[in-house]
Amino acid sequence: MAVLKKIWPQSLFARLLWVWLMGLTLVLAAAAWLALDERTVRGQVVLHAKLTQELAASADWLDTLSPAQREQWLEDKGQGKRRERWRLVPPKAWSPNATPLPPHVRPLAIYLASELAPRQPLVQHFTPLHDRQRHGDADGHHPERSRGQTWVSLLLIDGAQVYVRLPATYPPHGAMGRPGFGSDTHWGLVALTVLVGLALLTWLAVVYATRPLKRMTQAAKDLADHPNQAPLPEEGPLEVRQAAQAFNHMQAQLQRHMAQQTQVLAAIAHDLQTPLTRLRLKTEWVSDEALRQRMQADLSEMQDLVQDGLALARSWHAQPQRQPVHLNQLLQTQLNEWEDLGWAVQAQGADSDCLVNTDVAALRRVLGNVVHNAITYGHRATVTLLCQDPSQPDHWCIVAEDEGPGLPESDLQTVLQPFVRQESSRNRQTGGTGLGLSIALNLMTALGGRLVLANRAQGGLRVTLSAPR
């Protein structure tokens, strides 16, 4: 494996180039192989046709001769420098029950049987060892041969049999094709092989090139919801490693920048607590009751805004402390607290046991913000607990609904941003700080879940909380 890693190109360009070159080489080699087989088959047909014509012409000539003339003609033909050796008696190795023909002779027998069917051609092949040890040719000697002898018998018009020994160099292995291939090989198969090979090669190259890009795209999408996610693995081709390093550097810079913002905001919020407390104490010295109440209301508003700002900053870097908790019991505890505050809240599904693994403090804050928002704008709230989310069976789900006016569809995502209020007034008694839903969204994201807003068909807003069990 170490040797392969050293040989394997390091850059994406070189790897794609290597894949294309190797793939094209294999595709072209397969195409050339099929083309060579096609050429071999065509050459085979030409050889068969030529030999068949010679045998047919000689047999037709023998049909016109008398038996004596045939013997004289065959003797002259056997002594001349002819391609074939003809005789009226079969060779000694000839057998009616001949062994199966070798693969390179079989196509010839099929072709002769098709073209010379009236003459009932029969082809037999004898091995060189068999010929040397037991049988000689018509002249009684054994010439050196690298392969066996191929004989063909033909039926003449008067019923006599004539035997022809093909040349010692026929049929050549290269011209007779290979086992498993025949004359039905078409150029269409060559084209299909090239197209399939190129398509597979293109698919592999595209997958290889886009896989790291998809991984980086998904990481970029997740960065918005999970800024503290683990860095990308710096592996793969050189370009991919460089891009992963740049992405991880950017993520680290963002995390550091957000951490600095959180520290600054937390420090300001903490430092403001002391002067706000002193101002509240000093308001007690104001003799005008109405003025004192207005000043204390403004200080309470400032203190709530500071606390919400600090909670928002902490929610950006929330690290969930998960523990087993029964959601039904947690919801029942929250209901008791809300009733003590005078909130009109109804619960459904709180009587069924639902054990999950989550952050209790974060979930309590989320439920408090969502229900407070529902009471503020809808006066009444209905909270429904589903231990199994219908859309995601491995998630729990809590749905909070109110009876308020709802929101325009264009504002369903806008109100989740910090300091965005659901009504245009600047009154803290009706508009709030505009941070409650933002904090809830950040905490749900840290839990690996989601917070979704939607309008109810009968009026009002529906807030759906869902997270892994």
CA angle 34, 40, 45 (to 5 degrees): 130
On whether the CB atoms of residues 216 and 232 are closer than 8 A, the answer is yes
Q: What is the CA radius of gyration of the chain?
A: 47
CA-CA distance, 52 to 93, in Å (whole number)? 23
| pLDDT score at 186 | 59
- Residue 87 DSSP symbol: E
Taking residues 30-50, report their average pLDDT: 70
Instruction: Say whether pTM exceeds 0.85.
Output: no
Asked whether residue 455 carries a pLDDT value surpassing 80, the answer given is yes
Asked whether residue 221 carries a pLDDT value surpassing 70, the answer given is yes
| pLDDT score at 377 | 85
- Residue 224's pLDDT band (cuts 50, 70, 90): low
CA-CA distance, 367 to 398, in Å (whole number)? 9
- Residue 189's pLDDT band (cuts 50, 70, 90): low
- Residue 228's pLDDT band (cuts 50, 70, 90): low
Reference 105, options 117, 113, 94, 115; nearest CA is 113
For 352-407, what is each residue's pLDDT tens digit? 788 888 888 888 888 988 898 889 888 889 998 888 888 888 889 999 998 888 88
Taking residues 453-463, report their average pLDDT: 88
- Residue 139's pLDDT band (cuts 50, 70, 90): very low
| pLDDT score at 130 | 47
| pLDDT score at 317 | 64
- Residue 119 DSSP symbol: G
| pLDDT score at 143 | 43
- Residue 341's pLDDT band (cuts 50, 70, 90): confident
Which two structure tokens, joined as six digits, stand for 302? Answer: 């400032």
More confident residue, 129 or 238: 238
Which two structure tokens, joined as six digits, stand for 301? Answer: 């508003």
| pLDDT score at 346 | 87
| pLDDT score at 190 | 61
For 311-336, what is each residue's pLDDT tens digit? 776 666 667 788 898 888 888 888 88
More confident residue, 187 or 23: 23
| pLDDT score at 131 | 43
- Residue 346 DSSP symbol: E
- Residue 268's pLDDT band (cuts 50, 70, 90): confident
More confident residue, 308 or 71: 71
CA-CA distance, 101 to 119, in Å (whole number)? 20
Asked whether residue 449 carries a pLDDT value surpassing 80, the answer given is yes
Q: Do strands 344-348 and 380-386 pair parallel, antiparallel, or not at all (unpaired)?
A: parallel
CA-CA distance, 249 to 255, in Å (whole number)? 10
- Residue 448 DSSP symbol: T
CA-CA distance, 444 to 457, in Å (whole number)? 25
- Residue 168's pLDDT band (cuts 50, 70, 90): low
Which two structure tokens, joined as six digits, stand for 124? Answer: 């037999």
Going by C-beta distance under 8 Å and a sequence separation of 6 or more, which residues neighbour residue 400? 367, 370, 371, 374, 381, 382, 383, 384, 462, 463, 465
CA-CA distance, 270 to 264, in Å (whole number)? 10
| pLDDT score at 12 | 63
| pLDDT score at 138 | 43
Rounded percentage of the chain residues whose pLDDT exceeds 90: 2
Reference 16, options 203, 208, 168, 171; nearest CA is 208
What residues pair up with 312 in beta bridges, in sequence order? none
Q: Tell me the one-letter amino acid at 268.
A: I
| pLDDT score at 161 | 86
- Residue 176's pLDDT band (cuts 50, 70, 90): very low
